[in-house]
Amino acid sequence: MTAPHAMHSRFDGLPDSPFPRLNALIEGVQPGMDPIIMSLGEPQHPFPDFITRTIVENAQSFGKYPPIIGTPEFRAAVAGWLGRRYDMADAIGPGKPLDPDHQILPVNGTREALFNAALVATPPMKAATRPAILMPNPFYQCYAAAALAAGADPVYIAATAENGFMPDFAGLHDALLARTAMIYVCSPANPQGSVASLGYLKELLTLARLHGILLAVDECYADIYDRDKPAGALQAALELDGTLDNLIVFHSLSKRSSLPGLRSGFCAGDKSFMARFKNFRNIAAPQVPLPLMAASAAAWSEDDHASDNRALYRRKIDMAERILGNRFGFYRPAGGFFLWLDVGNGERAAYDLWAKGGVKVLPGAYLSRDNSGLAGDTHNANNPGTSYIRVALVESEAKTQIALSRMAEIL
């Protein structure tokens, strides 16, 4: 008797993870020089000293189950940071557009929350057909996995130099928008470093409300920027009409505070959606342990370390500008810590950089797929990442200078 097949076909369209693909590309190839890893966006900067101290001081709380809603101290720290960062303190508090006790939730790293939000936001049918979830292309693979898990079609919309690396969702057909349950957008964008303007966010939120769509804005790089603070979606919503309807935003300490291993972030937004999301999370989502939540509250309450972190990334972007100049389509990213370089053939360049220079970067095609070929997608079925490489400026200044110099010579 044949055993039933255990894999469900809904995940047949799941994108491959870019990092195993990169490892397969260079498998068996010895690095030409001492290796420098610039493929993974894992911050290597020192994290604040008070984090370890706070965890130790609260270590006894590892013996308790943490509440899914977090602690009052955590929610207050997040609310304080949002008020300072986006100049919206007057909009935060009980009875105001953003009530910390009902519209802010801690998350076990934003990846899990970005994934789980789609499960709550997506109905079985929308506009009498299978729902869709829209996302920029290139994209964070988690978005596509979430769409497939929620029973929706992931729809990839080009984010290219021609549109400032911000996809034109408004140019899509009404029939697609009518069946869309959720739109993911990332600002500052990974990998291109582009930043959505307040105007762009207002127009996108207006579009989402018109079609009954949840707008999910991934703002995990919000505190890493070159010159101007990136606008926030909460700001845009409050300026638009004073409500947070149809909106949820995601923030993380991984990049802001160089704490990727803490697995701590938060989401905030639409009151009715957050209530449903809290109920779901109470049953199915991981909590943030109480000592880590205390450390997170301390991190959100203190801005100097984030400013120092940002300055270090800015110095490395200055370095890249000096070394690369106007070659390989170099431009200063407005936010984030990635370079998105047009090298003609990203896969070939990644191979050569490893084989000749020991520099490990990520081919852009591994972060993107063929566009969905819809209205507003000027590249039809082309993969918009094919000619690019993504370079993560996460190493020390000394290693970054060595790597960039090798890259300039080899490319």
Predicted pLDDT of residue 2: 56
Q: Mean pLDDT, to the nearest integer, of 220-243? A: 97
Query: Is pLDDT above 90 for 365?
Result: yes
Which residue, 302, 325, 358, sits at the end of a domain? 302
**Domain CATH for 174:** 3.40.640.10
Predicted pLDDT of residue 9: 73
CA angle, 255 then 260 then 263, to 5°: 115
Q: Into how many domains does the chain fold?
A: 2
Query: Is pLDDT above 70 for 381?
Result: no
Give the domain extent around 30: 9-46+305-410
Query: Is pLDDT above 80 for 30?
Result: yes
Do residues 28 and 74 both lie within one domain?
A: no
Do residues 35 and 13 both lie within one domain?
A: yes
Query: Is pLDDT above 70 for 374?
Result: no
Predicted pLDDT of residue 257: 98
Do residues 29 and 145 both lie within one domain?
A: no
Do residues 148 and 135 make contact, with C-beta atoms less than 8 angstroms apart?
no
Residue 104, beta-bridge partner list: 268
Residue 379 banded pLDDT, cuts 50, 70, 90: very low
- The DSSP bridge pattern shows strands 388-392 and 362-363 to be antiparallel
Phi, psi angle pair for 276, to nearest 5°: -65, -40
Do residues 222 and 109 both lie within one domain?
A: yes
**Domain CATH for 356:** 3.90.1150.10
Secondary element (H or E) of residue 208: helix 198-210
Q: Mean pLDDT, to the nearest integer, of 189-195? A: 98
Residue 378 banded pLDDT, cuts 50, 70, 90: very low
Residue 59 lies in a domain: no
Residue 328 lies in a domain: yes
Share of the chain above pLDDT 90, in %: 92
From 341, 310, 349, select the one nearest 325 (Cα to Cα).
Answer: 341
Do residues 277 and 104 make contact, with C-beta atoms less than 8 angstroms apart?
no
- The DSSP bridge pattern shows strands 247-252 and 214-218 to be parallel
Do residues 146 and 114 make contact, with C-beta atoms less than 8 angstroms apart?
yes
Do residues 293 and 370 both lie within one domain?
A: no
Structure tokens at 271: 């009151």
